């Protein structure tokens, strides 16, 4: 595990493997780079893989007294980490919350992207009900703590068939989640609640785009998984996985990302 003090004021930890053209992996809410642990070695054959812990998650620092972590703040952290690592352009793949941050990055720093991937994520904003649920999550975290919240959250992220058949995966995801600071969990919950509709960002992006969904994902409904189509868009549904493809089927997840990269290499530097 490496760690860099960034110009954004936070110290961000990250895992790294492989060499060559850089690809960055962003994890989901109450996760860490540990979500990508089994996928990262398979992806290392396709380039230099960097998997940071988002601010307030894993081994990265929280952002002081700030209440809300805007998706733009997370995007700024990625850009600042790129500066520290002397990276001009990256292929950026974001899981769930990481996808929201990746979309903010695509809107703010399109010139620094070679390709964009949303993994079990969406460009649509929260519904009104989802916004209410975010506030309930914040209250639960503040009153009962992160561990209790994670215990309730994590099982829902896996395909129903895996909740009982793969208890070791659920336990591992919970253990990762316990490493989230209360500030990070609250900050990102409020940030996700406030994020705008970014379907137009995908529509404008003249770069290779990967939309990777889980067949049994109970977090992102089918109608929100593939908001755009076009010659530059690759849309794939992974069978027999829920919202956690990188843990439920790391080989298939890495294979689809790798195939996407190989197919699009040479297009704007991917």
- Mean of the pLDDT values across residues 151-168? 95
Please report the pLDDT score of residue 63 as a whole number.
85
CA distance 36 to 1: 13
Structural domain includes residue 164:
yes
- CATH of residue 47's domain is 3.40.50.1820
Please report the pLDDT score of residue 111 as a whole number.
96
Please report the pLDDT score of residue 269 as a whole number.
44
- What residues contact 44, with CB distance under 8 A and at least 6 apart? 17, 18
Query: Over the chain, what is the mean pLDDT?
Result: 95
Structural domain includes residue 203:
yes
Contact 32, 81 (CB under 8 A): no
Burial 17-54 (b: 16+ CB within 10 A, else e): bbeebbbbbbbbbbbbbbbbbbbbebbbebbbbbbbbb
Nearest one of 184, 169, 185 to 241, comparing CA atoms: 169
Contact 112, 89 (CB under 8 A): yes
Distances (CA, A) of 29 to 19, 73, 144, 178: 28, 15, 18, 12
Structural domain includes residue 269:
no
Number of residues assigned to the chain = 270
Structural domain includes residue 270:
no
Report the predicted TM-score, pTM, of the whole model to 2 decimal places: 0.95
β-bridge pairing 11-17 and 233-238 = unpaired
Structural domain includes residue 185:
yes
Beta strands in the chain (DSSP E): 2-5, 11-17, 22-26, 48-52, 90-95, 113-119, 209-214, 233-238
* Phi-psi label, residue 68: left if phi above 0, alpha if psi -120 to 50, beta otherwise: beta
pLDDT digits (tens, 9 = 90+) for 45-88: 999 999 999 999 999 999 865 689 999 999 999 999 999 999 99
CA distance 71 to 102: 8
Range of the domain at 42: 2-264
Q: In which band, very low, low, confident or very high, does the pLDDT at 41 lie, cut at 50, 70 and 90?
A: very high
Q: In which band, very low, low, confident or very high, does the pLDDT at 266 lie, cut at 50, 70 and 90?
A: low
Domain count for the chain: 1
């Amino acid at each position: 595990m490496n760690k860099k003090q960034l110009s954004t004021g936070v110290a961000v930890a990250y895992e790294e493997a492989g060499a060559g053209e850089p690809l960055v992996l962003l994890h989901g809410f109450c996760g860490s780079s540990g979500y990508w642990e089994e996928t990262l070695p398979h992806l290392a054959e396709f380039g230099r893989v960097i998997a940071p812990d988002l601010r307030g998650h894993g081994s990265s620092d929280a952002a002081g007294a700030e209440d809300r972590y805007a998706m733009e703040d997370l995007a700024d952290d990625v850009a600042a980490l790129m500066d520290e690592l002397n990276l001009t352009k990256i292929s950026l793949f974001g899981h769930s919350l990481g996808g929201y941050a990746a979309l903010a990055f695509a809107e703010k720093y399109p010139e620094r992207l070679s390709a964009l991937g949303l993994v079990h994520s969406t460009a649509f904003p929260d519904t009104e009900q989802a916004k209410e649920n975010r506030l309930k999550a914040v209250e639960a975290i503040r009153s009962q703590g992160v561990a209790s919240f994670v215990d309730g959250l994590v099982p829902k992220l896996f395909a129903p068939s895996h909740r009982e058949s793969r208890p070791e995966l659920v336990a591992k995801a919970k253990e990762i989640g316990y490493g989230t600071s209360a500030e990070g969990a609250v900050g990102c919950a409020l940030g996700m609640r406030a994020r705008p509709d970014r379907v137009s960002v995908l529509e404008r992006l003249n770069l290779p785009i990967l939309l990777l969904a889980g067949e049994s994902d109970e977090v992102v409904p089918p109608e929100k998984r593939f908001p755009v189509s076009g010659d530059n868009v690759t849309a794939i549904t992974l069978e027999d996985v829920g919202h956690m493809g990188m843990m439920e089927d790391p080989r298939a997840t890495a294979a689809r990302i790798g195939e996407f990269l190989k197919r699009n290499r040479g297009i704007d530097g991917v």
